[in-house]
Amino acid sequence: DGGITQSPKYLFRKEGQNVTLSCEQNLNHDAMYWYRQDPGQGLRLIYYSQIVNDFQKGDIAEGYSVSREKKESFPLTVTSAQKNPTAFYLCASSIDGTGGYGYTFGSGTRLTVV
């Protein structure tokens, strides 16, 4: 079955450490996205990529970095510069950058800073 796989499901990080969240899709979608979800704030866009080797910052990119070396993979690194990284992170993809057919979401990674 085609879909998006995010790993790990739960992640604990010590302050000052960088961590990388994995996102892999086998839908052959061109565009991929990272969103952060906090209680009462909905989903906020971190980064998005419409094609391989290209990506753009979203509304809350500070303290995060991404890469898109392969079509199927869009990992997100949460750096020590991110002041409040504890949140639920969702990866999504769409057939193309227009999003005209809707987004497919992964099951998310819950990151907790300890």
Which residue, 9, 8, 111, 6, is CA-closest to 63?
111
Confirm or reject binding of residue 75 to other proteins (CB under 8 A).
no
The Cα–Cα gap between 61 and 35 comes to 10
Q: Smallest gap, in angstroms, from Cβ of residue 98 to other proteins?
A: 5
Q: Give the E-state strand segments of 1-114 in sequence order.
A: 4-7, 10-13, 19-25, 31-38, 42-51, 54-57, 64-66, 76-78, 87-94, 104-105, 109-113
Confirm or reject binding of residue 64 to other proteins (CB under 8 A).
no
CB atoms within 10 A of CB 30: 16
Q: Which of 25, 29, 33, 78 binds other proteins (CB under 8 A)?
A: 33
- The residue among 36 and 85 lying less far from other proteins, judged by its C-beta, is 36
Q: Smallest gap, in angstroms, from Cβ of residue 27 to other proteins?
A: 13
Count of residues of this chain found to bind other proteins when the rule CB under 8 A is applied: 27
Q: Which residues pair with 89 in a beta bridge?
A: 36, 109
Within 82-111, which residues bind other proteins (CB under 8 A)? 90, 97-108
Residues in contact with other proteins by CB under 8 A are 4, 33, 35, 40-45, 48, 50, 56, 58-59, 90, 97-108
